[in-house]
A and B are shown apart, each in its own frame.
Chain A
């Protein structure tokens, strides 16, 4: 079956503009995660959705970042008034079960460049 997909694969935007990044998780996966991967910074957790529960937003770096998950499936990460330090690869992952026992499946990522 299809894996996690993300769009766009690359996004170049001007500083101050808003961007939306999309994630389509694997069908049937109840948990969805957003991470940011920056050079030299490793993998940084941003936000986590599980079913109808309130999302864990503890990793969002500022109030310019927000995310939604509609209908328990597709998720959109929005970055408002982008800054150059937002440039990174944004990864989405989903897992079948929220328990840490289950593997996370990652998408190919969206490379965001803020000029």
Chain B
């Protein structure tokens, strides 16, 4: 079964400090992974997907197949990064289903 683990429910850092939100998955195929973010009073929205190798708002996420991890990182956190972050690896590409299994989320707080 597919599993996503975000070990930290809460994470606090000071502004300017590096931040890493952890995500581990159990998956037998070649995964495509996403990070979604929900800012206060806003909709849940896509932050980035690993396949595009993009950096959004200074965040990057590297897929480590050996460690089955997809941690989200930012070298210098900003107060506006405070939000709930969800890791979401989808099912095997060979599957006809397209549901995502979201992790339980990590609430990031960046203190001034």
In the bound assembly, the distance between CA atoms of A97 and B105 in angstroms comes to 24
A101 contacts across to B, CB distance below 8 A: 32, 51, 90, 93
User: Residue A41 at the B interface, CB < 8 A?
Assistant: yes
Does A104 reach chain B (CB closer than 8 Å)? yes
Q: What residues on A are CB-neighbors of B99 within 8 Å? A: 33, 45, 48, 56
- For chain A, the bracket of interface size reads 20 to 34
With contacts A101-B51, A104-B46, A106-B44 taken as known, whether A31 is within 8 angstroms of B104 at the C-beta atoms is no
B98 pairs with A43, CB closer than 8 A = no
Scoring A residues 4 to 36 as 1 if CB is less than 8 Å from chain B, else 0, what string do you get? 000000000000000000000000000101010
A95 to chain B, nearest CB (A): 7
Please determine whether A100 and B86 come into contact, CB atoms closer than 8 angstroms. Answer: no
Q: What is the CA–CA distance of A97 and B32 in the complex, to the nearest angstrom?
A: 15
Interface size of B by CB at 8 A reads: 26
Provided the pairs A48-B97, A56-B97, A106-B43 are in contact, do residues A100 and B105 lie with their beta carbons within 8 angstroms? no
A100 contacts B32, CB within 8 Å? yes
Residues of A within 8 A of B93 (CB): 99-101
Which of these, B9, B32, B49, B86, contacts A43 with CB under 8 Å?
B86
List chain A residues, Cβ under 8 A from B28. Answer: none
What are the residues of chain A within 8 A of B96 when measuring CB–CB?
50, 53, 98
Is B91 part of the binding interface, using a Cβ–Cβ cutoff of 8 Å? yes
Q: Which residues of A contact B90 (CB under 8 A)?
A: 99-101
Residues of A within 8 A of B (CB): 3, 31, 33, 35, 40-43, 45, 48, 50, 53, 56, 91, 93, 95, 97-104, 106-109
Residues of chain B having any CB pair with chain A under 8 Å: 6, 9, 32, 34, 36, 43-46, 49, 51, 86, 89-91, 93, 96-105
